[in-house]
Every structure is written in C-alpha cells, then in structure tokens.
Amino acid sequence: MESSDDSFPAADVEKELNPGNNTSVEVDSVSSQIAEVGNFYADAQKQKGKGVAKKGEKGKNDPVQTFKTTMIVSGVLIVLAGVALAISKKLRENKA
C-alpha cells in the first residue's frame, strides 16, 4: 500500500531521550522573527498607553461627554428608523 520511501526520517535516539545532553540549540528563524515583531508592538502599545493616561487626566467631564455622545447617536438612530417607516408607509400606499 505505502512504500518504505514515504516513511519518516530516522530520529537520533540519544538526542531525543536525553535532551539535557544536547548543547547545540536549533532556533527557528521564523518564530524568532515573530517574537521580535510582537515585542515591538507591545512596546508601541505601552508608549501609546502613557499618552492616553495623560489625556484622561485632563478631561474631568468625560462621563458627561459620553452621555452626550450616546444621546446624539440614539437620536440619529430614532430619526433613521422614522424615515424608514415613513418610506415603507408611502410605498404601501402607492401599491394600493
């Protein structure tokens, strides 16, 4: 069914059973590059977080601003729903 050419390569038994004796460490270059990029982004996020903390200290009316924004967005959504209902009502009247 399967030929012997498709089998896995032979493993070094001493190396596998005694990992402490292995003094040469093989590093996967792709994994190390990914780790370096991750560290770069983590450092960038830390720097960005410091800037956000300073802005948060300045604005003491932040809850009021959040409430205003919520009310404005809610109002816009209610107006859009009203417009949609008015259009559907007109379309129903035109069909009849």
- Average pLDDT on 63-72 reads 93
* Calpha distance 66→59 (Å, rounded): 11
* Calpha distance 62→30 (Å, rounded): 44
Q: Whole-prediction pTM value?
A: 0.37
Domain boundaries, the chain: 11-58, 60-96
Residue found by looking up tokens 């399967």 in the block: 2
- Average pLDDT on 30-55 reads 71
Residue found by looking up tokens 């601003």 in the block: 65
- Longest C-alpha distance within the chain, in Å? 88
Return left, alpha or beta for 18; rule: phi > 0 is left, psi -120 to 50 is alpha, else beta: beta
Residue 1 reports pLDDT greater than 70 = no
Task: Say how far residue 51 (Cα) sits from the centre of its chain.
Answer: 21
